[in-house]
């Protein structure tokens, strides 16, 4: 079959004029050069593609590591939110931030230095209502203020000091004035 095909091509070529033979030979040479060039470039293209894929593998592995780190961070934050939500749920329905703050202030022996406790209006967000109390303490030594803030921080309830401003007294620098905003959350 190959011999038959070769004979047919040879017969076709011999029936052509000299000019057509030159054109066919030139065309065949050009096609042969392109085929040889393509075959010559094939290993280089393969190697370049493999290097590109190796770089992509490294990039994807880095991305996978970052994704694993984000997953770990998400799980930690999700666990933390779960613990806070369970603590909020454990708080009694009748929990009053003002009365709790008064009890802690009395225990810390700073109740007489509290000028005011006023609840500002707080917006509701996402199934929880934030309850807050702004407290102003005047003419108190640093130790008493620290005792009060430590007692609030170590509370079994979910309490957060959102803002704290301390200022020394002009008349006696050993005494301070403090204004802070204490807040807690309740499920709506």
Euclidean distance between CA atoms 124 and 140, whole angstroms? 34
Euclidean distance between CA atoms 57 and 53, whole angstroms? 6
Structure tokens, 140 = 């108190």
Tell whether domain 97-187 is in CATH 3.40.50.620: no
Spans of all domains in the chain? 1-90, 97-187
- SS3 of 15-32: the string is CCCHHHHHHHHHHHHHHH
Q: Give, to the nearest 10 degrees, the angle between helix 142-153 and helix 97-107.
A: 130
User: What pLDDT, on the 0 to 100 scale, is given for residue 61?
Assistant: 93
H or E element, residue 186: strand 175-187
DSSP string, 115-181: EEEE-----EETTEEEEEEEEEEEEEEHHHHHHHHHHHHT-SS-EEEEEEEEEE-SS-TTEEEEEEE
User: What pLDDT, on the 0 to 100 scale, is given for residue 64?
Assistant: 92
User: How many Cα atoms are found within 13 Å in the side-chain-facing hemisphere of 73?
Assistant: 6
- 0.75 exceeded by the pTM? no
Question: What tens-digit pLDDT sequence spans the chain (188 residues)?
Answer: 777 878 887 778 778 888 887 888 888 888 888 888 888 887 888 888 889 999 999 999 999 999 999 999 999 999 988 887 777 777 656 677 788 888 888 888 888 888 888 888 766 666 777 888 899 999 888 888 898 889 888 888 888 888 899 999 888 888 899 999 988 887 77
User: What pLDDT, on the 0 to 100 scale, is given for residue 123?
Assistant: 67
């Amino acid at each position: 079959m190959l011999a038959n095909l070769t004979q047919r091509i040879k017969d076709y070529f011999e029936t052509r004029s000299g000019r057509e033979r030159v054109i066919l030979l030139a065309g065949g040479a050009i096609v042969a050069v392109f085929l040889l060039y393509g075959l010559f470039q094939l290993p280089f293209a393969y190697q370049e593609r493999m290097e590109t894929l190796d770089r992509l593998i490294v990039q994807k592995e880095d991305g996978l590591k970052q994704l694993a780190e984000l997953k770990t961070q998400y799980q930690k934050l999700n666990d933390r939110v779960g613990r806070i939500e369970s603590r909020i749920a454990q708080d009694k329905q009748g929990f009053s931030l003002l009365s709790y703050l008064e009890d802690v202030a009395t225990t810390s022996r700073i109740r007489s230095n509290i000028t005011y406790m006023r609840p500002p209006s707080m917006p509701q967000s996402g199934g929880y209502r934030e309850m807050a109390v702004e407290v102003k303490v005047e003419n108190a030594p640093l130790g008493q203020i620290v005792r009060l803030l430590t007692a609030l921080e170590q509370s079994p309830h979910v309490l957060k000091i959102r803002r704290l401003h301390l200022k020394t007294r002009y008349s006696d620098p050993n005494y301070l004035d403090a204004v802070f905003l204490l807040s807690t959350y309740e499920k709506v």
